[in-house]
Amino acid sequence: LISFCWETIFDADETQWIMINNQFPSKVNISSKDGSGKKILKIAYYPIWNEQNLLSNMMMVIDDITEMEFLENKMRQEKETSNRRITILHELTSNKRSTLKPFFHQLDENLKEAQKWSKVMKEDIKRKKSDLHSIESLFKFLHIIKGSSRQFSFSFISKKTHEIETILSNIHELIKTSELDDDVKYKDTSYKAEYLLKEMDQLVGIINGYIKIGKTLLNLDFPEDAETIRHIHENIKNFD
């Protein structure tokens, strides 16, 4: 397409240039010959007209904007992170402080169950097991996490959980589809299961983000590990 554009603009009038100039790239990425990195180049085009007002030459000004792009992306990411922190802080302060500690305790319990069942599901798929119990159990705990997060208006948690539910729904439908060959079916579901586990890791990171902001900015007292509390309860019961 670009070769065609070059062929058509010369010895043509300004109208032709106006119609076609947006086909030329204003920015290109080039890799070094040794593969050690890439550069981002900005290109500006300046047509030169002859006495008949036809395009006779083209001057191009090329700037290396690699560092500028890097700094702009860094600033954009920092702004997004800052906006995200502000949103999380607003969501936390919109709830009663007394309700946050029990919420995150229960969230931790449900998250650990969801992680457990996601790993069971992965093993079931690996063994080409068509039993849907692990998937349905994972659905249950994800639904609880999403529902409770929506009650507290924790948007990032509920949104990510909904995305994981969608992936899980696709896995569920694939396993139920008997028309597919088992090798094809479980190859697809295995790929989706791996993706789901990565999304689960992201959900953990999002939840930890809420907890970290709650601790550092609101001085909320969250236990470092809910597992410790469970051990304490078990020891009390054994003592009794």
Continuous segment of H or E residues that includes residue 124: helix 97-126
Q: What does pTM read for this prediction?
A: 0.68
Strand, helix or coil at 26? coil
**pLDDT recorded at residue 12:** 92
Q: What is the pLDDT of residue 142?
A: 96
Q: What is the mean pLDDT of the chain?
A: 86
Structure tokens at 20: 């076609």
pLDDT in tens, 106-121: 999 999 999 999 999 9
pLDDT of residue 233: 45
Q: Is the pLDDT of residue 155 over 90?
A: yes
Torsion, Cα 140 142 145 151, to 10 degrees, reads -80
Q: 3-state class of 213 per DSSP?
A: helix
pLDDT tens digits, residue range 185-232?
A: 778 888 999 999 999 999 999 999 999 898 888 887 765 544 544 443
pLDDT at position 10 is 92
How distant, in Å, are the alpha carbons of 25, 28, 38, 62, 197 from that of 55?
19, 24, 33, 20, 58
With 60 as the cut, is the pLDDT of residue 18 above it? yes
Q: How far is CA 75 from the centre of its chain?
A: 19
**CA 183/CA 172 separation, integer angstroms:** 16
pLDDT, average across residues 40-52: 93
- Residue 176's pLDDT is what? 79
